[in-house]
Amino acid sequence: MVNVHGEKDQRMWSSILMLIGGFGIIILDKTDSKLVLLLVLLGVYALLFLAIYFEKEVWMEMYWITRTEEFKNVADWLWMGVWLLIILIGAILWLLARIYQIIAFSKMPISVEPRKKINVDEYFGLTT
């Protein structure tokens, strides 16, 4: 069962990244090539980029559901963090995103109004 934070999903991605890193270390040990290390690091970064993209989408959905502005800030800080991870500023931005996440959950409304059901034909003007 996955909770709101997606801990099971994060554990799965962490395991995959560690497995890829382990294979990279084994290959590096056998070949003694810096190119292999660079390729492994780029692969790990690509997987991390993909995982953060999906996490950003989750926080944007939380923003649309709850209308809590801090969830949008979490998504923005995460996205900037993954882009700036190469120059190590991204790690600080990830920390800021986690702080905004705590603030967002504390400001989240107790209940959320359900979305209104719309008639699709009326919405697109197809009624006669």
CA distances from 17 to 10, 112, 117 (A): 10, 36, 42
Q: Name which of 12-16, 70-74, 103-107 the model is least confident about.
A: 12-16
**Closest listed residue to residue 112, CA positions, set 66, 74, 72:** 66
Count CB-CB contacts under 10 A for residue 36. Answer: 16
The model's pTM: 0.60
Query: Measured between alpha carbons, how far is 71 from 56 in angstroms, rounded to an integer?
Result: 9
Query: Measured between alpha carbons, how far is 25 from 23 in angstroms, rounded to an integer?
Result: 5
Q: What is the pLDDT of residues 4-22, one digit of tens each?
A: 555 556 666 667 766 666 6
To the nearest 10 degrees (0 to 180), the angle between helices 34-66 and 7-31 is: 170
Task: Give the three-state DSSP class for 3.
Answer: coil
